[in-house]
Amino acid sequence: MDDDLPTDFEVIVVGTGMVESIVAAACSRIGKNVLHLDSSDHYGGLWASYNFDGLQKFIKEVNADPKRQWPVYNLSEKWYIEKESSEPEQNEDKKEGDENKTDDSKAETQKKIWSQANFTAEYRKFNIDMTPKLLFSRGPLVELLISSNIARYAEFRCVTRVLTWLNDRLAPVPCSRADVFATEAVSIVEKRMLMKMLTSIVGYNEEEMNNEFKDWNDKTFKEYLTHKGLTPNLIHYVLYAIAGGTDKMPCLEGVKECKKFLMSLGRYGNTPFLWPMYGSGELPQCFCRLCAVFGGVYCLNRPIDKVEIKTLDEGKRVVAIQSKSKTLNCNNLVVGIDECPKEMLPTEPVETSDISKAVFITNGTIMPSEKEPLTLLRFPPLTEEGHAVTVLEVGPATGSCPKGLFVVYFITKMVKDAESDLQQYAARIFDFSGDQTAESDKPKCLYSLYYNVKDTSVPVQSVASEVHVCAGPDVGLDFDRAVEQAEQVFKKICPGEEFLPRAPDPEEIVFEDDVTHGPEFARHDDEEGDAQ
């Protein structure tokens, strides 16, 4: 089958991560002939979502071959529940087709006691993200999805609440007016104070902002908030929850983060954030779909072995790629950093701090609410040298897990290793006893996975101008850097071309030649596609 693969393309994209996929879609959209490859058998690379089986395979694969330079390391997986259920198997679980009928009534009667076998049986209902991220409602990715019409391939849910860790407990951060009425944490006086400051932040344009804050360049955001007379509670909300910062956060950065948060309020829900249904890993695939619709050719399980730049007789340069004993040629190669052959990368490694991550699967939400919550929790650092920790809790309504469970992601900059960096935070909101029958005000953790990821988000210049290296996921909350980098790569390959112009809706496509009588309905070879 692989032998059918054509060999000459204008653009070859290797790796199906977020940046690569956006570039592939953008090139294909304006008519470039694109081939898109990935070395593994699934989409997304480090940005992928896995069902439970896929996650197990991924862990196994990394652990089996520690010598290979995996961008993921320090994997530590742990179960807190029995292998097999001690109860007699409920036959409801077997009859998957009736899932809607059974689960509701079950939830009402009794909380399910989960076993590892239950996870295995329901593996398909999990979508666990390696790079969970949110979208700002007015951020660049939302705007791009809408303007390019790629939004039709995806669905989203609103993040229902933003929480923070204040005075040793979870506290909701008031985002909407309703929240403010409901909360007792903010007094009327404080509210006015806060309003005044936030309103001014939103009002500044770039120039005014630089002007207003010119004396604050070497000072922290916390100093600024203190200077503005905010009470400690308010400083906590603004600095840790809204700006997602730490005590060391530079003033201007804090102001910009605040502005981004505030600007995205009031578009879709109570918070400024959206979460993609079925996980962040869906999003690169949406861009791949657009690329394919415009003629991009897709081939997974196709590692590349070698990349060379060849100069042809006329002085024209082509990129020649060796893959499975076939040579693929293109004018421009776009390659994800984790798929890029070493000879194409600069010899000096980029200094970065890596990322610590964790995935917890629990039997309930960290803070009960009327409807199923979708939560962003921002922890301020609990230790002197630590960083802020981002926590995302997603439930069954997002297509992330079976009913009765929640998937909770932890992300922070690495200090020591994922487990030491994150365990202390997790311990504050989960019960790790594994005893699902005992009463507890915290959800029970049933499964945990800690891991570190190399931070490959700093753009790297390849040694050849025809080879464009795409950065990996960053520690940030959103996709903004990925979108920005993808546009830059596209502009280099296709200068002067529009970046992802709106794709027409199906009803707008009018076919000129609507004849019903065509020549003989015969197909001559397999290459030609569907309509022969």
Closer CB to another protein, residue 205 or residue 311? Answer: 205
Rounded to whole angstroms, how far apart are CA atoms 404 and 436?
12
For 179, counting Cβ atoms within 10 Å of its Cβ (0-12 exposed, 13-18 middle, 19+ buried), the class is middle
Provide the token pair at 516: 């019903």
Closest separation in Å from C-beta 16 to another protein? 9
**Number of other residues whose CB lies within 10 A of the CB of residue 309:** 15
Residue 48 to residues 51, 283, 288, 481, Cα–Cα distance (Å): 10, 9, 13, 17
Helices (H), ranges, 351-436: 418-429
Rounded to whole angstroms, how far apart are CA atoms 232 and 237?
9
Closest separation in Å from C-beta 291 to another protein? 9
Nearest Cα residue to 470 out of 487, 452, 453, 454: 487
Closest separation in Å from C-beta 157 to another protein? 4
Closer CB to another protein, residue 374 or residue 411? Answer: 374
Closer CB to another protein, residue 295 or residue 346? Answer: 295
List the beta bridge partners of residue 201: none
Pairing of strands 375-379, 161-166: parallel
Closer CB to another protein, residue 42 or residue 492? Answer: 42
Rounded to whole angstroms, how far apart are CA atoms 2 and 379?
49
List the beta bridge partners of residue 166: 169
Closer CB to another protein, residue 198 or residue 320? Answer: 198
Closer CB to another protein, residue 323 or residue 452? Answer: 323
**Torsions phi, psi of 165, nearest 5?**
-105, 105
Rounded to whole angstroms, how far apart are CA atoms 409 and 451?
11
Closest separation in Å from C-beta 522 to another protein? 7
Closest separation in Å from C-beta 240 to another protein? 19
Closer CB to another protein, residue 27 or residue 345? Answer: 27
Given a contact cutoff of 8 angstroms between Cβ atoms, the answer to whether 27 and 493 are in contact is yes
DSSP string, 357-373: EEEEEESS-SS--SSPP
Closest separation in Å from C-beta 529 to another protein? 3
Closer CB to another protein, residue 300 or residue 463? Answer: 300
Half-sphere exposure of 121 (CA within 13 A, CB side): 16
Closest separation in Å from C-beta 478 to another protein? 15
Buried b (16+ CB within 10 A) or exposed e, 224-248: bbeeeebbebbbbbbbbbbbbbbee
Closer CB to another protein, residue 80 or residue 275? Answer: 275
Residue 497 to residues 31, 154, 492, Cα–Cα distance (Å): 11, 25, 10
Closest separation in Å from C-beta 47 to another protein? 13
Given a contact cutoff of 8 angstroms between Cβ atoms, the answer to whether 224 and 235 are in contact is no
Closest separation in Å from C-beta 98 to another protein? 8
Closer CB to another protein, residue 375 or residue 462? Answer: 375
Closest separation in Å from C-beta 277 to another protein? 4
Closer CB to another protein, residue 282 or residue 431? Answer: 282
Closer CB to another protein, residue 279 or residue 473? Answer: 279
Provide the 3-class DSSP secondary structure of residue 191.
helix
Closest separation in Å from C-beta 186 to another protein? 10
Closest separation in Å from C-beta 438 to another protein? 30
Given a contact cutoff of 8 angstroms between Cβ atoms, the answer to whether 489 and 470 are in contact is yes
